[in-house]
Amino acid sequence: MRLARKHSMTQREEFSRVRQNGRAKSGRFVVLSTLADPALPFLKVGFITTRKVGKAHDRNRLRRRFRAIVQRHGARLDDPARYLVTIPRRGAVEASFEELERDWLKQASRLGILRKEAP
């Protein structure tokens, strides 16, 4: 799944709506929030990386990594008509891509937004 610009959350209202009405699960490296919206034609993804996470190049690298994770596993979402917000935690800068991916997938499955894989 390729994340085109139309899949990005850009409005402050979208982020606050997910925060107020959505569900969230936090793991060791990531907090994942989601809100299903049947009016959406496709998945809308947002990334929040605060200065607490690290310097600018670290925050940019984390956004690139999480964007790659969403691109890799976005097709597995059971209902793509939803908002999905990823917030890295402080220790995420030192984590490897595999650790970030494992934690993101764990939180997504805890939220119940991933389809079960065929054996």
- Which token pair is 114? 């991933």
- Residue 84: which domain range? 5-111
pLDDT digit string, tens, across residues 32-86: 999 999 988 888 999 999 999 999 999 999 999 999 999 999 888 888 889 999 9
Mode of pairing for the β-strands spanning 82-88 and 44-47? parallel
Q: Rounded to whole angstroms, how far apart are CA atoms 41 and 57? A: 33
Into how many domains does the chain fold?
A: 1
Q: Rounded to whole angstroms, how far apart are CA atoms 31 and 28? A: 8
Residue 118: which pLDDT band, with cuts at 50, 70 and 90?
Answer: very low
Q: Which amino acid type is present at position 42?
A: F
Which pLDDT score is estimated for 117? 65
Which pLDDT score is estimated for 49? 94
Which pLDDT score is estimated for 2? 67
Query: pTM for the complete prediction?
Result: 0.88
Q: With a cut of 50, say whether residue 8 has pLDDT above it.
A: yes
Q: What is the CATH number of the domain that holds 38?
A: 3.30.230.10
pLDDT digit string, tens, across residues 104-117: 999 999 999 988 76
* Residue 86 counted as domain residue: yes
**Exposed/middle/buried for 116, CB within 10 Å: 0-12, 13-18, 19+?**
exposed
* Residue 118 counted as domain residue: no
Q: With a cut of 60, say whether residue 119 has pLDDT above it.
A: no
* Residue 119 counted as domain residue: no
Whether residue 2 contacts residue 47, with contact meaning beta carbons closer than 8 Å, is answered with: no
